A and B are shown apart, each in its own frame.
Chain A
Amino acid sequence: MAATDNTTSEADVPMALIIRRHGLVTRLTHWLWALALFFLLLSGLQIFNAHPSLYLGQQSGFDFDNGVLSISALRTEDGDVRGVTTLLGQGFDTTGIFGVSGPLDRRAYRAFPAWLTVPSYQDLATGRVVHFFFAWLFAAVFVVWMGASMVNGHLRRDILPTGADLRGLPRSVINHLQFRFDHGRSYNGLQKLSYAAVLLVFFPLMTLTGLTMSPGMDAAWPWLPDIFAGRQTARTIHFVVMLLLVLFFAVHIFMVFAAGPINELRSMITGRYRVDAKSQREEAGR
């Protein structure tokens, strides 16, 4: 590669080409969302613990079975209490984390363990207070982000994948698998697709399924339980999208570290981002 590339010497020079990558609104909304989502997740798991079962349809089947997931503590024949997670009728022993958790001499019988909930002890009232406060913050930030991104072109330029992005997707996947990351000004196809999924699908879906669980909103907007096929289905979707957001978070954090945590973090705090000379040239040539 080096032998055929007559500009190698130039690329090998430590590049200090710094650009302004993230606008103020992007940075501000990013961190407010991070704060809100942190508390939404942990208070949400607290709320889930009050009735750790998920169903499909309008109601919860007590005399019939429409359950899809439940987490419980069950006493075995020899007197031991095991945490059991039942997914689509299939039971899994999850003692230590789901159902039964905590130190061996002070076992807690709860769906999600203390270290995954706010507050750490069982307190549905406080979980709800925290959840709804940050739900409002989350929604307000979404309105600001959406408005700004439509006005300043962020949405069209950086988030919505173009035809070329989609055609380049296989290449982008291979690059990622080989740990070859662009450090260009703009997002690659895979990045755009991930951010579009989170911002334009998961976030609205999370908000709408959350609203569907509100009996007041179901009266105000009766189409809510209709589009999600019932309040309990909406609750299940809310939970599944939570899992998808946690998965996104894990990949997101991993990629920050893999792509250079200092540079990435700096770009999301100050906006300044060091780009590769190579990708800079590629961008210019596009």
Chain B
Amino acid sequence: MSRLLINRRRFLTAAGVAAATLPLVGCDAFDAILQSRGIVRDVLASANDLTYRVQRLLMDADRLAPEFGESDIRQGQRPNGSTDPTDPQYIALQQQDFSEYRLAIAGLVEKPLSLTLTELRNMPSRTQITRHDCVEGWSCVAKWTGVPLSKVLDEARVKPDARYVVFHCFDRMNLGLSGSVAYYESIDLIDARHPQTILAYGLNGKPLPVANGAPLRVRVERQLGYKMAKYLSSIEVVSELSTFGRGNGGFWEDLGYDWYAGI
């Protein structure tokens, strides 16, 4: 019996100690060390390089993201990020239903291109029903139609020293006091040449709406939504990313998000 009593006492002690440790969870203790662009943050973020390498090892260059059937399209594609660009150049194009739109392909290519929407629509097309995964955590299934980026790159003839494709966009992102910057993104040539990487002009059987990136957005189906730049103005083939924005390869990357968003 005495054994039982001791253990009841222990029980109360345990409960008390456990309750006392709860406030220790308070997590602002790590705020400073994680916020700074210091060594701790860099070491933690280097795990993204590992993820990138391992995922590239685990999947063939042409391995497709899962595709779905018409019955899986149960709602409109949820617009996110910019949904209504206010850039004057964009508004002027929009007012003429993008008839004057030209997509420039420049940089490390033998033959720089300037393509109208009609020219892009007359190129070979691909239609795919895929799942859009947002970095926030939600997913949405939709049908996308566009020209494979590889066809455009083949026509422009990529130079051997090229490594990345940079997407320049019309939408500007507000950064508060420091003003606004144009959205941009980048992917490697493996993803750029992936069969499902398309410059999409159609969504769910209709022309791409403004909220979803009209007239042209990119689909990179093995990565998260923020890689799939909307409102494309031009495409630049490059050998390094350090000269764009703050040098991290994309608008969100410059704010601390991982460049490789296959996770």
| Cβ-defined contact, B139 with A118, below 8 A | no
Q: How many Å lie between the Cα of A58 and that of B13 in the bound state? A: 47
In the bound complex, residues from chain B placing their C-beta under 8 Å from that of A47 are 137
The residue from B63, B68, B76, B263 contacting A132, defined by CB atoms under 8 A apart? B263
Q: Does A178 contact B (CB under 8 A)?
A: yes
Mask of B50-76 contacts with A, CB within 8 angstroms, 1/0: 110001001100011110100010111
Residue tally, chain B, CB below 8 Å to A: 63
In the bound complex, residues from chain A placing their C-beta under 8 Å from that of B140 are 59-60, 62
In the bound complex, residues from chain A placing their C-beta under 8 Å from that of B135 are 50, 124, 128
In the bound complex, residues from chain B placing their C-beta under 8 Å from that of A152 are none
| Cβ-defined contact, B27 with A120, below 8 A | yes
Residue tally, chain A, CB below 8 Å to B: 59
| Cβ-defined contact, B34 with A118, below 8 A | yes
Q: How many Å lie between the Cα of A261 and that of B16 in the bound state? A: 13
Q: How many Å lie between the Cα of A50 and that of B34 in the bound state? A: 18
Q: Does A253 contact B (CB under 8 A)?
A: yes
| Cβ-defined contact, A115 with B14, below 8 A | no
Contact stretch, chosen from B1-9, B86-94, B209-217, B237-245 = B1-9
Q: How many Å lie between the Cα of A135 and that of B25 in the bound state? A: 19
Q: Does B119 contact A (CB under 8 A)?
A: no
List residues of A (213-239) whose CB comes within 8 Å of B's CBs.
Answer: 213-222, 225, 231-232, 235
| Cβ-defined contact, B139 with A59, below 8 A | yes
List residues of B (211-241) whose CB comes within 8 Å of A's CBs.
Answer: 221-224
Q: How many Å lie between the Cα of A181 and that of B64 in the bound state? A: 54
Main secondary structure of the interface of A (DSSP, over half): helix
User: Given contacts A115-B26, A119-B35, A215-B222, is CB(A60)–CB(B139) below 8 Å?
Assistant: yes
Q: Which of B11, B138, B262 has the most CB of A within 10 A?
A: B138
Closest chain B residue, CB of each to CB of A45: B27
User: Given contacts A60-B138, A126-B34, A133-B47, is CB(A218)–CB(B65) below 8 Å?
Assistant: yes
Q: How many Å lie between the Cα of A130 and that of B27 in the bound state? A: 13
B223 CB to nearest chain A CB (Å): 6
Q: How many Å lie between the Cα of A61 and that of B139 in the bound state? A: 9
The residue from B7, B43, B66, B221 contacting A222, defined by CB atoms under 8 A apart? B66
Q: Does B181 contact A (CB under 8 A)?
A: no
Q: Does A63 contact B (CB under 8 A)?
A: yes
| Cβ-defined contact, B76 with A63, below 8 A | yes
Q: What 16 additional pairs, Cβ within 8 angstroms, besides A62-B140, A217-B58, A219-B59?
A: A51-B136, A53-B138, A58-B139, A59-B72, A59-B138, A60-B140, A119-B31, A123-B256, A129-B256, A130-B34, A132-B48, A132-B51, A215-B261, A217-B262, A218-B66, A219-B66
10 A-B pairs with least C-beta separation: A216-B262, A257-B14, A179-B7, A63-B75, A125-B256, A220-B59, A60-B138, A51-B137, A120-B28, A51-B136
Interface residues of B (CB under 8 A from A): 3-4, 7-8, 10-11, 13-15, 17-18, 23, 25-28, 30-31, 34-35, 41, 43-45, 47-48, 50-51, 55, 58-59, 63-66, 68, 72, 74-76, 78, 131, 133-141, 221-224, 252, 255-258, 261-263
Cross-chain pairs A/B with CB under 8 angstroms, 21 sampled: A50-B135, A50-B136, A58-B131, A59-B140, A60-B78, A64-B75, A114-B28, A116-B27, A119-B34, A121-B31, A128-B258, A129-B44, A130-B44, A132-B48, A132-B258, A215-B131, A216-B51, A219-B59, A219-B221, A220-B59, A254-B15
